[in-house]
Structure 1
Amino acid sequence: DESNVCITMSGTNGLLDVFLALVQPGDNVLLPEPYFPLYPPDVVICGGEPNLYPCAFENGFVPTIEDLQSRVDENTVAILYNFPSNPTGGNVDKSQRDELVTFAKEHDLWIISDEVYDRIVYDGPHVSFLGAGYDKVIMVQSFSKTFAMTGWRIGYLLSPDAQAMLQLTKMQYYVTACSNDAMQHAVLEALMNAADYPEEMCLEFKARRDLICERLNAMPGVSCHVPTGAFYVFPQVDVPGMDSEGIAMALLEGGVLCSPGTAFGELGEGHLRFAYTTSREDIDKGMDRVEAVLAELRGD
Structure 2
Amino acid sequence: MADEPAWSGRVMYGSLLIDSIQPECRAMPKHPAISPAAQAVRGAVYSGLARKPASGRPPVPLHVGDTWMDPAEGCRMQDLNVDDYPGLHRYSPVPGYPELRDRIAEVHGRRCGVATGREQVIVTAGATAGLAASVSALVAPGEDVLLAAPYWPLIAGSIRAFHANPIDVPVMTEAETAGDAVACFERYRTEKTVAVYWNTPHNPTGRLLDREWLVALTDWAREHDLWIFSDDVYEDYVYDGEHVHSRALAPDNTISVHSFSKAYGMAGNRCGYLAGPENAIGAIKRIVTNINYSACSASQRAALNALNGAGQPWVDAAREKYAELGRHAAEVLGLPPPRGGTFLFPDVSGVLDERGLDGFLGDLAEAGVLVAPGPSFGPYPNHVRLCFTAAPPDEIRRGVGILADHMRR
CA deviations over 1:122-163 (Å, ceiling 9, x no partner): 11221111111441111111100111011110011101x221
User: How far apart, in 2, do the equivalents of 1:3 and 1:257 lie?
Assistant: 42
Tell me the residue number matched to 1:206: 323
**Equivalent in the alignment of 1:4:** 120
The answer (yes or no) to whether the contact 2:149–2:173 under 8 Å persists in 1 is no
Larger radius of gyration: 2
CA displacement at 1:289 relative to structure 2: 2.1
* Residue 189 (structure 1) aligns with: 305
Measured against aligned partners, the alpha-carbon deviations of 1:144-201 in whole angstroms (never above 9, x if no partner) come to 0111011110011101x22112111111112112221111111112222232211221
RMSD: 1.9
Give the drift of 1:94: 0.7
**1:245–1:262 contact (8 Å) kept in structure 2:** no
Q: Which amino acid aligns with 2:152?
A: F
Task: Report the equivalent of 1:221.
Answer: none
Which amino acid in structure 1 is aligned with residue 388 of structure 2?
Answer: Y
Q: 1:255 aligns with which of 354, 368, 374?
A: 368
TM-score (norm 1): 0.90
Q: Decide which of 222, 227, 234 is 2:338's aligned counterpart.
A: 227
Pairing partner for 1:126 from 243, 249, 253:
243
1:146 aligns with 2:263: yes
Is this contact kept in 2: 1:61–1:90, CA < 8 A?
no
- Aligned residue among 249, 262, 275 for 2:387: 275
The answer to whether the 8 A contact 1:81-1:114 is kept is yes
Q: Which one of the candidate residues 32, 55, 60 is aligned to 2:171?
A: 55
Aligned mate of 1:102, from 219, 222, 229: 219
Q: Separation in 2 of the partners of 1:281 and 1:206?
A: 15
Q: Which residue of 2 aligns with 1:239?
A: 351
Separation of aligned partners in 2, 1:61 and 1:90: 13
CA displacement 1:209-258 (0-9 Å, x = unmatched): 110111001xxxxxx24321110110112214253332122111111221
Q: Distance in 1 between matches of 2:282 and 2:338?
A: 36
Structure 2 CA distance for partners of 1:269 and 1:9, relative to 1, 3 Å: same
Q: Structure 1, unaligned stretches of length 5 or more? A: 218-223
Paired residues of 2:146 and 2:169 also in contact (CA < 8 A):
yes
Secondary structure of the corresponding residue to residue 227 of structure 1: coil
* Stretches (4+) displaced over 6 A: 60-63
> Residues 171 and 184 of structure 2 are in contact (CA less than 8 Å); yes or no, is this contact kept in structure 1?
no
Contact 1:55/1:61, CA 8 A, preserved across alignment? no
User: Could you tell me which residue of structure 1 aligns to residue 162 of structure 2?
Assistant: 46
- Which stretch has the larger CA shift, 59-68 or 247-256? 59-68
Q: Does the Cα contact within 8 Å between 1:23 and 1:47 map onto a contact in 2? A: no
1:20 shift after superposition = 0.7
Farther off after superposition, 47-56 or 13-22: 47-56
TM-superposed CA distance for 1:36, in Å, is 1.8
Task: Name the structure 1 match of 2:231.
Answer: 114
CA distance 1:75–1:294, shift in 2 (3 Å)? closer
- Is the partner of 1:130 in helix, strand or coil? helix
Moved more, 126-135 or 102-111: 126-135
2:274 maps to 1:162: no
Letter in 1 for 2:204: P
Counterpart contact for 2:222–2:250, Cα < 8 Å: no
Q: Which moved more, 1:56-65 or 1:268-277?
A: 56-65
| 1:15 paired residue number | 131
Return the alpha-carbon distance in structure 2 between the equivalents of residues 11 and 269 of structure 1. 27
**What letter matches 2:297 in structure 1?**
D
2:346·2:384 contact (CA, 8 Å) conserved in 1?
yes
Residue of structure 1 aligned with 2:406, choices 290, 293, 297:
293
Greater shift in the superposed pair: 55-64 or 125-134: 55-64
> How many Å separate the matches in 2 of 1:48 and 1:231?
29
Name the residue aligned to 1:265. Answer: 378
Higher mean displacement: 161-170 or 56-65: 56-65
CA distance in 2, matches of 1:80, 1:212: 28
Cα separation, partners in 2 of 1:248 and 1:210, compared to 1, 3 Å: same
Residue 182 of structure 2 corresponds to: 65
**Count of equivalent residues:** 288
Alpha-carbon distance in 1 for matches of 2:250, 2:161: 31
- Partner residue, 2:83: none
- Aligned residue in 1 for 2:9: none
